[in-house]
Amino acid sequence: WQWNHNPIDEAWCLTARRGALRLTTARVVENLFVAPNTLTQRMVGPSCSGTVCLDVRRMLDGDRAGLAALNGDSGVLTVEQEEGERSIVVSEQRSRFGENRAIIGVDTVELARIPLKRNKVYLRIDGTFGKPHDLATFSYSTDGKCFIPLGRAVRMSFDYRRMFMGSKFAIFNYATKETGGYVDVLDFKYE
C-alpha cells in the first residue's frame, strides 16, 4: 500500500472504529487526482479484482468516496453525496497535464448513475490486462454477495507518460464543498 500524495496524518485513523480505516476529508479539492489520503495498490495481470466495503453514513454534501483504477486515464466507481442523497457513479476520468506534468484539469465522462439508499456498500473493479484489452469493469453490491455490473468497461492506459506505469487500485474520500465528512473502510479484498 502507498499514499498517492503525502498524507494528511490527522485525516486518517486506524483506531476510531475497530477493524476499519477511517478516511476524513481534510481539504476541499476539485478532483480525485489532487485528493490527499488516497490509498493505492498496484493492479496485476493478467487479471485481478479489488473489492472495497465502505460505510458511507457520515459523508457530507459534496463528498466523493470510492474505488478507482487509477492512472492519468482512470475508471472510477464513486459514491457521491449531494443534497443529502447518495448515488453510485461510474465515470471515465482523463487528466490533462500542463508544464512540468502538473495536472491542469480533468475531463470526466459519466457512464452510469444509480441511487444508493444504504449506508454500507461494496464496490468492485475487475482488471483484465494484455493486448488488446487493458480494461476495467465495475460492479457494486449492498450485501457483499450479489454484485451488479454498472456502466461499461474503461480502457486503462499502460503508459508511463501519463502518471505512472500501469494502473493502481485507489481507495479515496475527498471533499468538493466542505471538510469533516468521513467514510470507514471496513474491508478490501484483492484477488
Query: pLDDT digit string (tens) for 9-68?
Result: 999 999 999 999 999 999 999 999 889 899 999 988 889 999 999 999 999 999 999 999
Structure-block grid coordinates of residue 97: 497535464
How many other CB atoms are there within 10 angstroms of residue 119's CB atom?
14
SS3 per-residue string spanning 85-107:
EEEEEEEEEEEEECHHHCEEEEE
How many other CB atoms are there within 10 angstroms of residue 87's CB atom?
14
> How confident is the model at residue 180, as a pLDDT?
96
Confidence of residue 163 (pLDDT cuts 50, 70, 90): low
How do residues 94-115 score in pLDDT, each as one tens digit?
Answer: 878 778 777 777 888 999 999 9
pTM across the whole model:
0.93
Query: Percentages helix, strand, coil for the chain, rounded to the nearest 5?
Result: 5, 55, 40
Burial class (CB in 10 A: 0-12, 13-18, 19+), 188: middle
